[in-house]
Chains A and B, each alone.
Chain A
Amino acid sequence: MTTTSDVGTGAVTAAGTEPVTGGAAAGGTAPAVAEPRTLTYSEAVREAMAQAMTADESVFLFGEDVGTYGGAFGVSGDLVHRFGTERVRDTPISELGIVGAAVGAGLAGMRPIVEIQFSDFTAQAMDQIANQAAKIHFMLGGAATVPMVLRAPGGSGTGAAAQHSQSLEAWFAHVPGLKVVMPSTAADAKGLLLSAIDDPNPVIVLEHKLLYKQSGPVPEDPVRVPLGETAVRRTGADVTIVATGVMVPRALEAAERLATDGVSAAVLDPRTLRPLDDQTIVDSVAATGRALLVQEAPRTGGFMSEIAARIVESPAFGRLQAPVSRLCGLDVPIPYAPQLEQAAVPQVDDIVAKAGELVRRW
């Protein structure tokens, strides 16, 4: 199979997998650094914000409880003590106002980072996200830019139930003018966020609650991971598994188990949904002949439907040996009971079973 993509530093996370050396990190920004240290995903996000704030006076963070409290998930941590309450600014509970203020601050020369405590509460702010931030550059004929970043954790698995557990990436990916980022590793959490902050467009960064405590190697320097490059997390010959968010580590674990069973699975992580590097996906599927698309979000209208469409519209169509297959969350709000919550979204066992079936049956 081909690996046309940058995998970034430390992109291959599963122990014992065949390392992917996809050439120099794309963008050419990765310096020859020594062995990177290990940070948690949430520390990596914090480090990106700190480095961006240090490098650029116009970068600032605001949101509910990002100051002394350190953020609902502890992501902003001690930033208020390092940068002060002007630049790490607590807000009232007013998501629409907060995001609107970020749009305005962006229009007037700042580079705001907004934290929304749970991605579910972007619903409160949706007018400013979808009708304002996304469209202003275009509506004004390119005369103004909205260089804002909105960070919010999504996903289930914490027993927080239906209004605190959604995976809403498709909402945002459907709106032209927004960029949408879903980091799955600590290194990407940092590198993609730095790129998002640099970007002159509104970027929605969907972090995952279950990943915040996961550790991985992260370069100390502010190494950018470019938006729009699918990472090949693992190469494989029999089936291409495309996964986002917390489904990436689950897919890697599944691939490991599939390997002991004689099934060679590639694992691809798009990392950004807009812009989407579909070429890397299409190339991989053309080589393996099979695609299993895994998302936590409910099946209907989910982003993996878009990836499925891109595959079947591409020349890889002629190379398919099996129907393009999706493994998704059920079409149900996320329930509270742990056993129900687990049943609502794909688990490692489900990925192993579905990928194995695709390979054996076709």
Chain B
Amino acid sequence: MTLTADPGLAKHALTTMWTIRRFEEAVDDMFARGLMHGTMHLSIGQEAVPTGACMALSEGDYITSTHRGHGHCIAKGAKLDAMMAELLAKETGYCRGRGGSMHIADVATGNLGANGIVAGGVPIAAGAGLAVRMRGGSQVVVSFFGDGAVNEGAWHEGVNLAAIWDLPVVFVCENNRYGMSMSVDRAFNVDTLAERARGYGIPGVTVDGNDPQAVHDVVTDAVQRARSGGGPSFVEALTYRWKGHSKSDKNLYRTREEIESWRERDPIAAFESAVTGAAAATAPSVPPALSESDVEECRILARDRVREAIRTASAAPDADAATLTDAVYAPAGAPIAGGTRG
């Protein structure tokens, strides 16, 4: 599907990216003002990857996410107020204030969860794919992870299981050039991370992760392959994190110029140019999908959604310490989340 040609899709993609951006800017600001606690990993600059990838998914499909997971969550359709409430440690948050940013999950939309453990979600995605297969389902699992995760043992074991069992999984690597301070140049001895796929006998492609269309195209192919029993694929999306790794990052390992050069490749600005026909590269024969005022509408919609989420979440009751030990074990007979059996 061409996101830039269809007004509906273009609006959806743009609004999603703006929502992720505005959500994280708001979170960044609240954190700086001491209204939010813990730590925070922001994906500002990387919005095109979850947006393009999740638009290739259907209802019922699964994702596994990471410590830098707000974008995945939003793109998969999570409720902003429940996300915000979680970050504000409220009882109405996705995890009732137990999990915070690094553990948000939205099982109802197939989001099996962010993860505090690098590569923790990769074998879990293989397992979800196995469950789909065993239940005779048609869902696909997209596993998001960073470049750093690709050097964890869990990554290799998870990808191999998916490969040997032909599981319906798409492994989406957000290669933002760093795992904390470790650059991919220092952490890998291969030119592209997609090369790793060959070692497991699955297709691997590298795409421009700042272009939602490019991400969407390759993930769509991979999802179709997975859904039709063709097994897993690996997609490496090249992108960049504008903000520090977390709150304590002094950015000593990269230059201001490098950060600036990537900010100039803002995925949202580029997409806006593409959909309004402002980008010179756009084929002149295709009429622009969106007008300037459509674009402005998307921005305002995103801003208002985030504001509303903050309002709703702030008014909610704080997480309740009286029930702290309630959910350590599931009660006997508790329903199995994430899908029906059979």
- Residue A121 is within 8 A (CB to CB) of chain B in the complex: yes
Sorting the interface of chain A by its residue count into under 10, 10 to 19, 20 to 34 or 35 or more gives: 35 or more
Verify A162–B152 contact, CB threshold 8 A: no
CA distance A197 to B250 in the complex (A): 30
Stretch at the interface among B92-100, B286-294, B306-314: B92-100
Say whether B37 contacts A92, CB under 8 Å. no
B148 close to A68 (CB less than 8 A): no
Residues of A near B148 (CB, < 8 A) are 92-93
A333 interface hit (Cβ, 8 Å): yes
CA distance A333 to B38 in the complex (A): 16
Proximity string of chain A (308-351) to chain B, C-beta cutoff 8 Å, 1 when within and 0 when not: 00000000000000000000001111011111101110000000
In the complex where A161-B38, A330-B324, A332-B324 touch, is A337 in contact with B97 (Cβ < 8 A)? yes
Q: Is B179 within 8 A of A92, CB to CB?
A: yes
Inter-chain CA distance A160–B40, complex, in Å, is 9
B77 close to A (CB within 8 Å): no
Q: Which residues of B contact A164 (CB under 8 A)?
A: 102, 116
Contact A65 B181 (CB under 8 A): yes
A131 at the binding interface (Cβ < 8 Å): no
Q: Which residue of chain A has its CB nearest to the CB of B246?
A: A72
A339 to B318, Cβ gap below 8 A? Answer: yes
Residues of B within 8 A of A162 (CB): 98-99, 103, 116
* Cα A172 to Cα B148 with chains together (Å): 27
Docked Cα-Cα span, A69 to B251, in Å, equals 8
Is the CB of A67 closer than 8 A to any CB of chain B? yes
Which chain A residues lie closer than 8 Å to B319 at the CB level?
Answer: 335, 337, 339-340
A59-103 to B contact mask, C-beta < 8 Å, 1/0 = 000001101111011100000000000000011111111000000
A-B contacts, 27 listed (Cβ < 8 Å): A68-B181, A69-B250, A73-B248, A90-B186, A92-B148, A92-B151, A92-B182, A93-B119, A93-B148, A93-B151, A96-B153, A120-B116, A161-B98, A161-B102, A161-B103, A161-B116, A162-B99, A163-B102, A163-B103, A331-B328, A332-B325, A336-B100, A337-B89, A339-B318, A342-B321, A343-B321, A344-B324
CB-based contact B37/A159 at 8 Å: yes
> A71: shortest Cβ distance to chain B, in Å?
10
Expressed in whole angstroms, the Cα–Cα distance for A229 and B50 within the complex equals: 54
Q: Is A124 an interface residue (CB 8 A)?
A: yes
Report the Cα distance A68→B154, complex, angstroms.
26
Known pairs A72-B180, A333-B328, A336-B99; list 18 more (Cβ under 8 Å): A64-B179, A68-B253, A69-B253, A73-B248, A92-B187, A93-B118, A93-B149, A94-B153, A161-B116, A331-B328, A336-B37, A336-B86, A336-B97, A336-B98, A336-B103, A337-B100, A337-B319, A340-B89
Do B180 and A124 touch across chains, with their CB atoms under 8 A apart? no
B100, B151, B152: the one contacting A161 at CB < 8 Å is: B100
Q: Which residues of A contact B (CB under 8 A)?
A: 64-65, 67-70, 72-74, 90-97, 120-121, 124, 158-164, 330-333, 335-340, 342-344
For residue A26, give the distance in angstroms from its CB to the closest CB of chain B: 37
Distance of A93 Cα from B39 Cα, bound (Å): 19
Inter-chain CA distance A90–B180, complex, in Å, is 11
* Cross-interface CB contact of B38 among A92, A96, A159, cutoff 8 Å: A159
Cβ contact of B325, chosen from A67, A159, A160, A330, cutoff 8 A: A330
Question: How many Å lie between the Cα of A163 and that of B98 in the bound state?
Answer: 12
Q: Decide if B336 is an interface residue (CB 8 Å cutoff).
A: no
B99: which A residues are within 8 A, CB to CB? 161-162, 335-336
Answer whether residue B117 sits at the interface, using C-beta atoms and an 8 A cutoff: yes
Residues of A within 8 A of B115 (CB): 163
Interface string of B242-273 (1 = CB under 8 A from A): 00000011101100000000000000000000
State which of A64, A90, A163 has its C-beta within 8 Å of the C-beta of B117.
A163
On whether A64 and B39 interact (CB within 8 A), knowing A93-B151, A335-B98, the answer reads no
Most buried by B among A91, A158, A159, A330: A159
Closest residue of B by beta carbon distance from A94: B151
Give chain A residues whose Cβ lies under 8 Å from the Cβ of B152. 93-95, 124
CA distance A342 to B319 in the complex (A): 12
Whether B38 contacts A339 by the Cβ 8 Å rule is no
Query: Chain A's nearest CB lies how many Å from the CB of B184?
Result: 10
Residue of B nearest to A118 (CB): B116
Nearest CB in chain A: distance from B321 CB, A = 4
Question: Which residues on the A side are within 8 Å of B324 (C-beta)?
Answer: 330, 332, 335, 340, 343-344
- A337 with B98: CB separation less than 8 A: yes
Closest to A334 in B: B98
A158 touches B38 (CB 8 A): yes
- Chain B positions 148-162 with a Cβ under 8 Å from a chain A Cβ: 148-149, 151-154
Give A92 to B181 CA distance when docked, in angstroms. 10
Closest 7 CB pairs of A and B: A159-B38, A336-B100, A163-B116, A337-B89, A337-B97, A69-B181, A337-B319
CB distance from B83 to the nearest CB of A (A): 13
Within B98-135, the residues touching A (CB, 8 Å) are: 98-100, 102-103, 115-120
Contact string against A for B residues 64-96, beta-carbon threshold 8 Å, 1 for contact and 0 otherwise = 000000000000000000000010010000010
For A159, list chain B residues within 8 Å (CB). 37-39, 100
Q: Are B180 and A65 in contact (CB under 8 A)?
A: yes
Most buried by A among B98, B187, B318, B325: B98
Question: B117 — which chain A residues lie within 8 A by C-beta?
Answer: 120-121, 124, 163
A72 to B181, CA, bound (A): 10
Contact A336 B95 (CB under 8 A): yes
Cα–Cα distance between A73 and B39 once the two chains are bound (Å) = 13
